[in-house]
Chain A
Amino acid sequence: MLSKRIIPCLDIRNGKTVKGVKFLDIKEVGDPVELGALYARQGADELVFLDITASHEKRKTFADLVLRIAQHINIPFTVGGGISELKDAEILLNAGADKISINSSAVRNPQLISDMAKHFGSQFVVVAIDAKQVEDDDWVVTVNGGRIPTEKRLFSWAREAEDRGAGEILFTSMDHDGVKKGFANEALARLSEELSIPIIASGGAGAKEHFKDVFTIGKADAGLAASIFHFNEIPIPELKDYLRSHNIPVR
């Protein structure tokens, strides 16, 4: 049976893992390759590495890091941050990334999703969406780490991303991110019902119950979190035992 995926997310700045609470207050938590390998041994199903300084600084450091990750880690991983053209994606593919995640650049240039899917295959293309709830059923897509609202709305943008060839959607609720009160399950369930590609839930994990809820109520295919894993608040083996005991299929 296909299992639900648990995905630790590592934010990278200058080659080091960092975690920002609500994308702001940043402190270092360690070497990404070591941390990633530790998570892999603990039973993480995939890893996501986001270069949070990529837009501003040279990318070479990150490509070197991706190569090191690919050499040392034996589970799939996605890389993202500042990927705005095919050439960026190709460098990361050649360094050994299994998937790339695009966010702001896809909002600004939706054709990028189509081009990436055509060149590298849909399985390589994760479209990340950061959105903020403005009314009950209305979510505004934001860019630049949640700082800038756009004209786009969550559900229509997610559908467009799928139509253009995205292989997965990584949805982060900016209202839930860093708050640790659970995921945006209602919006996630709607995404999951409306789309035919896997949905990765992000933003809000603070307790084991939140993962149970995101897989049952939120109907997500994967749950992503950062700080709860980095600070070992919820060890992955313990989380998986808990989910298994609630009849949620996990590896």
Chain B
Amino acid sequence: MENKDTQVEGEGTMANKATIVVHSGDMDKLYSALIIANGALAMGMEVSLYFTFWGLQRLRRGALEKGPLSKMNMLGLGKWMVKRKMKKVGVVSLERLMQDFKELGGKVLACDMTMEIMGIKKEDLRDDLISEYCAVGTYVNEAKESTITLFI
């Protein structure tokens, strides 16, 4: 069934793109970014995630799940309690969300200026996840064609 009012699958139109800046490295904010991103992909949008500053730290090898809670972390106790509750409710891991994001065709972009400032080398990062290393121009170029842009 073709519905003329809706987007045709895979079409890269303006109404069909979301760009999200992942500035925070906090665990809960990473969940927000990835859940929104995966939801947008599932609804047929194109999605790019721009990892910068503290967000980019989470793309270091072995660091994806290592972020603190943005509030009430209490030296990790708050995070431990939230994680326990999440497990009970059946929330999947950030790693799983990231794998799903890639499988559904999402793009992961790494900010190269952050890499310079923080002394991060390409070999420190998860190259299995990163689609491209880029700067602000790439972000603006994609954001101006997007109907959803978020800074998390």
A and B are partners in one complex rather than unrelated chains: no
